[in-house]
Chain A
Amino acid sequence: MVNAIKGLYISCDIPMAQFIINMNAALPQSQKFIIHVLDNTHLFVRSDVAGMIRSAIAEFREQNTYEKPA
Chain B
Amino acid sequence: MSTSRGEFGQPRGDKGRTSKKMKFSKEASAAEDDDSHFAEDFDEDLRDGEGKRRDFSKLELKPDHLNRPLWACADGRIFLETFSALYKQAYDFLIAIAEPVCRPESMHEYNLTPHSLYAAVSVGLETETIISVLNKLSKTKLPKEMIDFIHSSTANYGKVKLVLKKNKYLVESPFPEVLKRLLQDEVIGRARLTSDGNHDGFTVGKSAGEIEGVHDELLNEAELAGVAEEKETHSFEIDPAQVENVKQRCLPNALNYPMLEEYDFRNDTVNPDLEVELKPHAQPRPYQEKSLSKMFGNGRARSGIIVLPCGAGKSLVGVSAACRIRKSCLCLATNAVSVDQWAFQFKLWSTIKEEQICRFTSDSKERFRGNVGVVVATYNMIAFGGKRSEESEKIIEEIRNREWGLLLMDEVHVVPAHMFRKVISLTKSHCKLGLTATLVREDERITDLNFLIGPKLYEANWLDLVKGGFIANVQCAEVWCPMTKEFFAEYLKKSNSKKKQALYVMNPNKFRACEFLIRFHEQQRGDKIIVFADNLFALTEYAMKLRKPMIYGATSHPERTKILEAFKTSRDVNTVFLSKVGDNSIDIPEANVIIQISSHAGSRRQEAQRLGRILRAKGKPQDRVAGGKEEYNAFFYSLVSTDTQEMYYSTKRQQFLIDQGYSFKVITSLPPADSGPELHYHRLDDQLALLKKVLTAGDDLVGLEQLEEDADGMALQKARRTFGSMSAMSGASGMVYMEYGTGQKRLHGQKSKPKDPAKRHQLFKKRFG
Contact = CB atoms under 8 A, between A and B. Distances in A.
Interface stretch (B40-48, B123-131, B199-207, B486-494): B486-494
A69 B648 CA distance: 8
Given A18-B489, A18-B492, A22-B489, A69 B645 contact: yes
Nearest to B731: A68
B644 interface: yes
A61 B489 contact: no
Contact of A15 (B19, B483, B652): B483
Interface in A1-59: 13-19, 21-22, 40
A65 B654 CA distance: 13
A66 B14 CA distance: 10
Interface residues of B, number: 27
Contact of A22 (B16, B483, B493, B500): B493
B16 A64 contact: no
B20 interface: yes
Contacts of B16: 66-68
B485 interface: yes
Contact of B643 (A15, A21, A40, A70): A15
Nearest to B641: A15
Contacts of B256: none
Interface string B1-37: 0000000000000001101100000000000000000
B20 A15 contact: no
Given A61-B643, A64-B644, A67-B20, A14 B651 contact: no
Interface string B464-500: 0000000000000000001111001100110000001
B647 interface: yes
B292 to A, nearest CB: 41
Contacts of B488: 14-15, 18-19
Counting chain B CB atoms within 10 Å of each CB, the highest count among A14, A40, A64, A69 belongs to A69
A45 B752 CA distance: 68
B648 A18 contact: no
B642 interface: yes
A43 to B, nearest CB: 13
Contacts of B644: 64
Interface residues of A, number: 20
Given A15-B482, A15-B643, A61-B643, A67 B492 contact: no
B489 A64 contact: no
Contacts of B645: 64, 69
B729 interface: yes
A40 B482 contact: no
Contacts of A19: 488, 492, 643
Contacts of B648: 63-69
A21 B20 contact: no
B154 to A, nearest CB: 38
A19 B642 CA distance: 13
Nearest to B20: A67
A14 B651 CA distance: 23
Nearest to B486: A18
Q: Per DSSP, are chain A's interface residues mostly helix, strand or loop, or mixed? A: helix
B602 interface: yes
A22 B20 contact: no
Interface in B561-619: 602
B485 A40 contact: yes
Interface string B725-759: 00001010000000000000000000000000000
A68 B733 CA distance: 13
A46 to B, nearest CB: 21
Nearest to A65: B647
Nearest to B644: A64
A56 B374 CA distance: 64
B647 A15 contact: no
A16 B643 contact: yes
B20 A65 contact: no
Contacts of B647: 64-65
Nearest to A17: B485
Contacts of A40: 485
A53 to B, nearest CB: 14
A68 B20 contact: yes
B650 to A, nearest CB: 10
Nearest to B485: A14
A21 to B, nearest CB: 7
Interface in B414-428: none
Given A65-B651, A67-B648, A18 B485 contact: yes
Interface string B140-169: 000000000000000000000000000000
Contacts of A66: 16, 19-20, 648
Contacts of A18: 483, 485, 488-489, 492
Contacts of B729: 68
Contacts of A68: 16-17, 20, 602, 648, 652, 729, 731
A59 to B, nearest CB: 10
B508 to A, nearest CB: 12
Nearest to A61: B643
B492 A22 contact: yes
Contacts of A14: 482-485, 488
A54 to B, nearest CB: 16
Most buried by A among B16, B483, B489: B489
A66 B483 CA distance: 19
B482 A13 contact: yes
Contacts of A70: 720, 723
Contacts of A60: 643
B553 to A, nearest CB: 25
B230 to A, nearest CB: 61
A63 B492 CA distance: 13
A60 B643 CA distance: 8
Contacts of B20: 66-68
A27 B206 CA distance: 84
24 contacts: A15-B482, A15-B483, A15-B485, A18-B485, A18-B488, A22-B489, A22-B492, A22-B493, A60-B643, A61-B643, A64-B643, A64-B644, A64-B648, A65-B648, A66-B19, A66-B20, A66-B648, A67-B16, A67-B648, A68-B17, A68-B652, A68-B731, A69-B500, A69-B649
Interface of A: 13-19, 21-22, 40, 60-61, 63-70
Given A22-B493, A64-B647, A67-B16, 11 more contacts: A13-B482, A14-B483, A15-B482, A18-B485, A18-B492, A21-B489, A65-B647, A66-B648, A68-B729, A70-B720, A70-B723
Interface of B: 16-17, 19-20, 482-485, 488-489, 492-493, 500, 602, 642-645, 647-649, 651-652, 720, 723, 729, 731
Q: Nearest 9 pairs between A and B by C-beta?
A: A22-B492, A69-B645, A15-B488, A18-B488, A64-B647, A15-B643, A18-B489, A15-B483, A14-B485
